Amino acid sequence: MTNKHNIILQPSGSRGQVEEGQSIRSAARDLGVEIESICAENATCGKCMVLIEEGRFEKYNIDSRRENVSPVSAEEAAYFARRPKFLKDKGWEVGQVRLSCQCKILGDVLINVPEESRGNKQIVRKSASQREIEIKPAVRKYLVTLTPPNLERPIADWERLAKGLETSMALVRGHEETLPRWHEFSIDYQCLRTLSSTLREAKWNVTVSVWQDREVVQVQPGYHENSYGAAVDIGSTTVALYLCNLRTGELLAAESEMNPQIVYGEDVMSRIQYTIEHKDGLEKLHKSIISTLNKLLKQAVKTANSHLLETDDLNTGRENPASTRPSYIKMEEILEMVLVGNSTMHHILLNLPPKDLGLAPFVPAIHKSVDVKARELGLHISPSANIHVLPTIASFVGADTSAMIVAEEPHKQDENWLLIDIGTNAELVLGNRKRLVCTSTPTGPALEGAHVEYGMRAAPGAMERIHIDENTLEPKYKVIGVDGWNTDHAEFKGQVKGICGSAIIDGVAELFRTGIVDSRGKFKQGLESSRIRKGESGWEYVIAWAEETSIGRDIPMTQQDVRQIQLAKAALFTAARTLLKRSGLESPDKIILAGGFGSYIDKEKAMLIGLIPDCVLDNVYAVGNAAGDGARIALLNVEKRREIESVTRKVERFELPTDPEFQNQFMLATSFPHMSEAFPHIAHLIPNRVADPMAKNFTTK
């Protein structure tokens, strides 16, 4: 019979009797306390450090002393000898701190498990957009140490590795029940090609990267703990790439580039047209995006490595315990990518003809997510890496919307949320845990500043805010790159050159609020202001006189500009209203505005002109690039992929043109709301004039 000893694990307070000679890590597991380890108990990773507390602990009636555990082994001593700075910073001494996979119990002890060693912990990471992401990557690494083959046991390299991997995976993740057996593992063909030479070069001590707990995608000599991955949002205009550490979730670099397909067409419809009219059109568009992705990947690795260089000394600490030199990231260490984009970008990325996305009945080639090898797409990362493309929902509700759902999780809410991604095309998702409905609508380029006489992109010199005094009808405005309002400056000359999207919304809202245009969007005549005048193309309101501009011309908002915004907001509003009606709702509990544009507009003004439906103003949020965030979340947490796959399969899609009321509703929605009944939450902003007969157009009652 073996001796039993009392152990206590802090801070959980778990206690129990364990057999003499058991390792602390194994004993802790028996008592329900998981301690980290990624090196399969090889005294290499240092993730399983614990502290042996000394003294008499009356509360537990226990005498705990260092002699009650096995002496520091040669491997442990070597491990700690390599990181004196780390020990000094922590104020720990060897003997007090131990590797729990090596340290065996010989008597009663009280053990402190420091936070960083605790298994099952929710590793969270504040992302650029302050989202918390639980790290559960598709690719995980395991140190596998093999007995070399000999004449008595000449089993093949792959089978030897698979058996070792089974053992290592079980040691690292022993608390999980459904781990695969060795014969269930597979190895990517290109990875198999170099397996034999790698194993021998590594003297049978390798780090194996496993995708989805099944497929071996990389075998590296020696010990490595970090894997890298990239999340990409392919927008029609901009491509944004995020390089992440798959183990820690850390964002290592964020890079963006213009989408090179713009030369083949500004919007998705013209790019689809290009592929129809040119025999090699799809191939050209496909190759251009692939080459941009390769460029972004290279830039991101460069950026991340330059940061590593700056924080060189960090690498001598715990982050990179096996080496005192910083380990620079190589392109072929990128082991997975997750990509999102609208359905047209999705099809072109995958080299699928997008023709039918643009022709009725508007059908994508595939809804479900696609996993394809990097080498099949010509991406210059590990050839065995898998490229995961999120599912599409409909022809105009693409993988970017799936990613927005991943990021915002409307399917987990009790409240009804309305998600709107505003661009040249707007995608809308409405609902809660019980039901999600979605649709899309073309909003035209007006909201992004195009097709507006003095419209421009958000850049220095662009007006970003406009306010009009309702008594004097005089405007004031803010310009990107200039502090405060123009009227705050003693002299304001030559500093403005156009109007960007958010100011266009402001301008139209103010023209309406101050009664310069009526609820039908028509300029009223007979108002006393030199700013209201008849221009070349009809009535207009001058916001900036020529001397305030760098272009030497007055900058007005014209009747035509107002009409453009009316069409865009009518499309968006009708889409939102259709979803609300189909869901039997009057208004959403929360409105989430995704995309760059949504971040800059004044939500009060947006509601005032009826761009978005009525909602408590405090419940209207702008969340930035939700699609990019969703891609990053799906990269770092494989469970989110399964989740979105099943959510998208259930989302109900409404194609607006098939709605019998659509044309009628759309025409009615072109006017401005102008009534407190329909928009109670902005009632105080609305001019106190006669009730408008159009009010009924803006209610879903």
Give me the residues that bind a second copy (CB under 8 A), please. Answer: 149-152, 154-159, 183, 187, 189-190, 192-193, 195-197, 200, 350-353, 355-356, 360-368, 370, 372, 376, 392, 394-395, 649, 653, 655, 657-658
Phi, psi of 281 (to 5 degrees): -60, -50
Query: Considering the complex, what minimum distance in angstroms separates the CB of residue 306 from a second copy?
Result: 35
H, E, C per residue of 474-523: CEEEEECCCCCEHHHCCCCCCCECEECHHHHHHHHHHHHHCCCECCCCCE
Q: How far is the CB of 376 from a second copy (least distance, A)?
A: 6
Tracing tokens 């402190």 back to the chain, one arrives at 112
209 vs 392 by CB, closer to a second copy: 392
Q: How far is the CB of 626 from a second copy (least distance, A)?
A: 23
Q: How far apart are CA 482 and CA 478, in angstroms?
A: 7
Query: CB of 662: closest distance to a second copy in angstroms?
Result: 12
d(CA 333, CA 325): 17
CB of 181 to a second copy, least distance (A): 12
Query: Which pair of structure tokens corresponds to residue 618?
Result: 């405090």
Query: Which of 360/667 has CB closer to a second copy?
Result: 360
Main-chain phi, psi angles of 346, to 5 degrees: -60, -50
Shortest Cβ 142–a second copy spacing (Å): 19
Nearest C-alpha neighbor of 50 from the set 63, 31, 69: 69
d(C-alpha 397, C-alpha 427), whole Å: 6
Q: How far is the CB of 77 from a second copy (least distance, A)?
A: 34
Q: Tell me the backbone φ, ψ of residue 510, rounded to 5 degrees.
A: -70, -40
Q: What are phi and psi of 294, to 5 degrees?
A: -60, -35
Let me know: does 574 contact 666? Beta carbons within 8 Å: yes
Is the Cβ–Cβ distance between 512 and 610 less than 8 Å? no
SS3 call for 239: strand
Nearer to a second copy, 367 or 681 (CB): 367
| SS3 state of residue 427 | strand
**Which amino acid is residue 347, in one-letter code?**
H
Q: How far is the CB of 699 from a second copy (least distance, A)?
A: 28
Rounded to whole angstroms, the Cα distance separating 423 from 441 reads: 10
For residue 362, the minimal CB distance to a second copy (Å) is 6
Nearer residue to a second copy within complex by CB, 158 or 545: 158
Q: Residue 220 has which token pair? A: 């590296």
The CB-of-164 to a second copy minimum distance in angstroms stands at: 14
Distance CA 247, CA 252 (A): 12
Least distance to a second copy from the beta carbon of 191, Å? 11
Strand 555-558 to 109-112 pairing: unpaired
Which residue number, 356 or 453, has a Cβ lying nearer to a second copy?
A: 356
First to last CA, the chain: 79
User: Do 686 and 674 touch, CB atoms closer than 8 A?
Assistant: yes
HSE-up (13 A, CA, CB side) for residue 90? 19
Indicate the residue type of 68.
N
